[in-house]
Amino acid sequence: MTISKERKEELEKLEESIGYIFKNKNLIDVALTHSSYINESKDKNRSSNERLEFLGDSILDLVVSEELYKNHKSYPEGKLTKIRSRIVCTSSFSKASEKFNLSSYLLFGKGEISHNGREKKSVKADTFEAFCAAIYLDAGYVFLKNFLMENYYQTVKELLENDLLFIDYKTKLQEYFNKTNRTILKYKLAKEEGPEHNKTFYMDVYAKNKKLSTGKGKNKKEAEQMAAMKAYKKLNHE
């Protein structure tokens, strides 16, 4: 399969951001090709990322299971299963995809683009699974595991500790204020740090002109959730 010059340049930007150069460029190209693109283009020489997504799902399940087994020797099977289910899920993988903005590299059908497909959690999660499968096939299991631990371990740890994968604190905080004085909360970017491919964002949450708290994250949405969580827990004395 021939990859156009424009597509190669686009994929090279991703390789630069993740710090890995694919030996087989077709793998990462396919990993970032949505089925809607294939359906619309009718190009029989191209494949969508669905098969890689299938493989990636199993590999990620293995990586997470292995790390939980090794690092939590006192946990019974039931607790390990519960924690794994919170990591190996659409919400978690969707957030993981956002670190390198993977969906922005997806080849999409026009119909899916018009329905804001790039922002769908399921699309982001599927893309992350396919992306990981491509790394696995190109570089091997050990490299993939090290890549995931280096780029996602701390984030997953914080998300689990704060229940951010399951609790929408922005909604909970707004509901709290709706009960009292119907104040519409506002979130403002305080600052951002780090290189373009690995920024940390700081967001403030305000009730009228009063700053309630500041949160940080690898994207603005995550930082907003952290700010909302801190404010909510403070208000409820948690």
**Residues flagged as binding site for Mg(2+):** 53, 126, 129
Per-residue tokens: 217: 């994250």
Cα distances from 188 to residues 35, 92, 217, 228, in angstroms, run 37, 25, 13, 12
Of residues 29, 57, 138, 222, which has the active-site annotation? 57
Per-residue tokens: 10: 């686009």
Of residues 29, 98, 112, 129, which has the active-site annotation? 129
Kindly write down the DSSP assignment for every residue of 116-133, as one continuous string.
TGGG-HHHHHHHHHHHHH
3-state secondary structure of 114: helix
Residues in the chain: 238
Long-range contacts of 225-230 (CB under 8 A, 24+ apart): 225/164, 225/168, 225/169, 225/170, 226/162, 226/164, 227/187, 227/203, 228/169, 228/170, 228/172, 228/173, 228/185, 229/162, 229/164, 229/167, 229/169
Query: Is residue 161 annotated as part of the catalytic site, yes or no?
Result: no
Amino acid residing at 144: L
Angle, in degrees to the nearest 10, between helices 121-139 and 50-71? 80
Query: Is residue 61 annotated as part of the catalytic site, yes or no?
Result: no
Name the region of 127 (left: φ>0; alpha: ψ -120 to 50; beta: rest): alpha
Q: How far apart are CA 106 and CA 191, in angstroms?
A: 29
Catalytic residue set: 57, 129
